[in-house]
């Protein structure tokens, strides 16, 4: 069964969602992040994907107190990303209670540095965050597309213990129009030892059901939960 990972995006300690990564197209929700994490965990979804959007802009973590509050909740495993571009930042988020750390831009720009981190902390804790647009990896808040495919990046990191990848299809993110299933099925088929997480476009419960039927292993759900397009109780019945 596919693992559902609820998402929480943070700006100034508040829950937000962006459309296609655009800070100007931001929706702020009246929800305390730790309360949201507790709600998801109580429903049976213990792995929570959290993006520190302030940290992504500042190139270092900015919401560590919020991370600490989430990590204190029984059963919660926080998957934290945003601004992890140094070993100091990585240690800070692990010390604040993160179970997993998601590294994106640095891994794409400096794969050998990330390979060293994989060897030190292990693929069970470090997650590659690969944002793609038209087949190429994008960095710097999706402002720059590299001449590098996700397959090329994965191939570079596999020998060092890479086992988890969150792949976000930028064109689908926050749009609620359905995920790019062919992208993920192709990746999962090519790399059976790596767990690829679907990210971007989930707009309905049917989207998740279809991904599950395709044999995909993990999916991040964010905006659709906040806006009531997916009922948490129905999600629990099928996937908790």
Which string of DSSP letters, residue by residue, matches 20-44? TTEEEEEEE-S--HHHHHHHHHHTT
Tell me the percentage of the chain whose pLDDT exceeds 70: 94
Taking the CA of residue 119 as centre, how many other CA atoms within 13 Å lie in the half-sphere pointing to its CB? Answer: 9
pLDDT band for position 139 (50/70/90)? confident
Average pLDDT taken over every residue of the chain: 93
Q: 9, 52, 169, 173: which is the annotated catalytic residue? A: 9
> What confidence tens digit (pLDDT) does each residue in 82-115 have?
999 999 999 999 999 999 999 999 999 999 999 9
Asked whether the beta carbons of 50 and 76 are under 8 A apart, the reply is no
123/31: higher pLDDT:
123
Over residues 27-40, the mean pLDDT reads 87
Q: Where are the domains of the chain?
A: 3-239
**Is 195 an annotated catalytic residue?**
no
- Confidence check: pLDDT of 18 > 80: no
pLDDT at 28: 76
**Is 131 an annotated catalytic residue?**
yes
Query: Residue 156 and residue 164: Cα distance in Å, rounded?
Result: 14
> What confidence tens digit (pLDDT) does each residue in 151-180 have?
999 999 999 999 999 999 988 876 778 999
pLDDT band for position 22 (50/70/90)? low
Number of C-beta neighbours around residue 35 at 10 A = 13
| CATH topology classification for 3-239 | TIM Barrel (3.20.20)
Q: 52, 92, 131, 173: which is the annotated catalytic residue? A: 131
Of 11, 49, 48, 5, the C-alpha closest to 27 is 11
- Confidence check: pLDDT of 21 > 70: no
Query: Residue 172 and residue 186: Cα distance in Å, rounded?
Result: 17
Strand partners, 100: 79
- Confidence check: pLDDT of 214 > 80: yes
CA torsion 103→222→38→197, rounded to 10°? -50
pLDDT band for position 233 (50/70/90)? very high
Q: Where are the alpha helices (DSSP H) in the chain?
A: 33-42, 53-58, 64-71, 87-95, 105-109, 111-121, 150-157, 181-190, 205-213, 223-226, 232-239
């Amino acid at each position: 069964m596919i693992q559902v990972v609820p998402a929480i995006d943070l700006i100034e300690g508040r829950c937000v969602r962006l459309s296609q990564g655009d800070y100007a197209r931001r929706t702020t929700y009246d929800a305390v992040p730790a309360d949201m994490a507790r709600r998801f965990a109580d429903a049976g979804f213990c792995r929570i994907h959290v993006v520190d959007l302030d940290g992504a802009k500042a190139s270092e973590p900015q919401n560590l107190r919020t991370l600490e509050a989430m990590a204190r909740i029984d059963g919660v495993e926080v998957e934290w990303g945003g601004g992890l571009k140094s070993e100091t930042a990585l240690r800070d988020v692990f010390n604040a209670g993160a179970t997993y750390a998601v590294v994106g831009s640095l891994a794409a720009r400096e794969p050998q540095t990330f390979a060293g981190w994989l060897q030190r902390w292990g693929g069970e804790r470090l997650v590659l965050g690969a944002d793609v647009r038209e087949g190429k990896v994008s960095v710097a808040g999706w402002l720059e597309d590299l001449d590098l495919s996700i397959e090329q990046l994965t191939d570079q990191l596999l020998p060092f213990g890479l086992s988890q990848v969150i792949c976000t299809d930028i064109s689908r993110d926050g749009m609620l129009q359905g995920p790019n299933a062919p992208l993920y099925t192709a990746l999962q088929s090519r790399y059976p030892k790596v767990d690829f997480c679907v990210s971007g476009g989930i707009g309905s419960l049917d989207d998740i059901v279809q991904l599950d039927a395709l044999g995909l292993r993990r999916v991040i759900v964010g905006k659709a939960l906040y806006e009531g397009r997916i009922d948490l109780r129905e999600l629990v019945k099928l996937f908790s």
